[in-house]
Structure 1
Amino acid sequence: VTADQFRIALTACQHWEQGYFSAYADLVHKAPDLVLQVGDYIYEKSFGGGPDVRHFSGSDPVTLANYRARHALYKTDPHLQAAHAAAAWLAAPDDHEVENDYAGTHSALSESEAFLRRRANAYQAYLEHMPISLTRLTPGGVRFHGKVDIGDLARLYLLDTRQYRSPQPGAPEGRARGAVVPRAEADQSEGRSMLGAVQEAWLTGELACPQPPWTILAQQTLFAPLALQRPEGEMIWSDMWDGYPAAREAVLKALGGEAIQRALILSGDVHSFWRNDILHKGRHIANEIVTSCLASRNAPAALFATAEADNPHVKYLDNAHAGYTLAEFDRHGARISFRAVRNLTDPESEVFELHVAEIEGPGKPGKPIAREGMPFDD
């Protein structure tokens, strides 16, 4: 099947209490071919710092009935309903669909047996309420990862960076926890996995096969390295790929292979917009686009305050807006629009174009992305 162009709306991190889902009204107006949701579709808990615009009912979900009720609450939002009706969806969960910062079979809050029951309940409710085939159920859990071809234009790999990962560096024994830790602490554990052995072997094997003009990896959290300079030295946030350097190296090596024509990584989780150059052994091999929270408060200002200055591969960073990302591809290139909500406390808020990134395609002949007549106007 020949495809001249394709439009993806990338979303993540929608907290019911912290903001209205008005970004979806703009998304529907832009008419994407696919909505790609890379995690934190629901939140399992409240967070401080208010003000909140609406509230969860009941306690944090643990049972299947609890998680079903949380998903049902989200589905009452009219803007979210409209987005589901407007386009096909492709989705995989991150941590808040179950519990903040969990890692594989490890919890930050409870013993393993109790957590595995909670995780099973959360996964079942997610499958029941999201457009995911029940054939994804396996004896060992749920297979959220997979691939889809967009005609002959692109191949999109959707990854699962939560279900199979090892505990983060610096986490207490037997538990999971994301934190700012010295980079050296992460580098000391080469056996730590982000994708799990089976998923990693599947991905690296796939990336060695002939690829269409665009190879797209959709996954949950910041992939690029991020040095956080502190008085005590260079630190990293352990819950991102920085906490799993050997796992990232395996993906980088595969992305740098001869089969790849042009690679793009689509990410979420960190409640901010980013455009990063992905380098391997001094060679540019991919671009990373990170979408902000669709409806939530941004990351703490101090966390990323020096990120651009300390990381030359970070080409754009905005940690002051929520919204979503609109990406349009053709054989000529990609146009990435970071679309920001003006006011999260307004259920009908204006959404505006915050930043545009242009990415060159793999050089194949084809119709260039239209600069006029496309509904990118604001």
Structure 2
Amino acid sequence: MKRRNIWLLAAVFGAVACQEGYIDDIKPVPPGEDVTAPTISMTYPLEGTLIRVREDVTSINVRFTVTDDIEIGNVVVELDGNQIAQLDSFPDYRKSVASFAYNEVATGEHTLTVTATDVAGKSTIQSVDFEKVEPYQPIYDGEIFYMAFDGENTELVSITNPTRVGEPGFNNGGKKGSAYSGVTDGYLTFPFADLANDEFSAAFWYKLNAVPDRAGILTVSPPGPTNNNRTSGFRLFREAAGAKQRIKLNVGDGTVDSWFDGAEAADVEAGSDWVHIAFTIAGDRCAVYVNGNIVSQGTFSGISWADCDALTIGSGAPNFTEWGHLSDLSLIDELRIFDKALTQGEVQQMIADN
């Protein structure tokens, strides 16, 4: 009974307070003058986006944000001049975060246009050009893997993306377009099963950053208790040689490992321009090339891929780190892998083509 009287008293006091004007009435506030046109921020696609898929016709997820100082009236989206969406209902009348799928993007160049109009009739138009490109076709005999690093890490033969560890990025000053740009504790990995062959070659353009003084460049290693199991797979890496960096290759045959160290012939100047690096592994021989010249070669008993499940680009990690061959902060571009042992002539032809 006592609690009920307390609640009753509170209700009576609240009613009296309203009548006495203790609580202000809610009054509408004019929105103010409409001064500016809407703004548009594109999220996807962006200017220059390249869409790489196997299908001739694919879908994209269009994403953008429209804001206005007073109120958005409507938004129209066009692809190549044809309307594909119209928005005229906005839960937040000053900001719209839009996302929708469009399923009819054919191979070729396209222009996406977003037109946003506010309730006062002011409009803003923003367009971006993008392209759905033809699937990449290998251009060299035996080519099974190609990464152009043109703003994306997609492997273009299989159209697959790597696992990205850390924050490796891109540098616009690539040999062609942009290039892979290494960072501390950063690298890329790909599943290796589909790349394993009795014969194997890799070739790429390389712009050296000599800090740190040693690093893994391209490695396929089995796991081991010390991260230095060299009985299978290969390890292409660099180490300090005075003021220069020496390119070295180590390959395992299943029992022991073999070294292909070109000594001074394999040295690269710190701060040098782009150099071309390649190596070949055959059933009876290995060779390392710098700028098309053989810097190391020798007999070999054939590679083993036992327990090798990943290709690492830009580091010795995760399986070749005991000697400090960690992330490479250099630039890498135009990386190709082959299921054959390239000849010197083929290596030199790739250099001439670039």
TM, length-normalised to structure 2: 0.29
Q: Which has the higher helix share?
A: 1
Task: Point out the structure with max Rg over C-alpha.
Answer: 2
TM, length-normalised to structure 1: 0.27
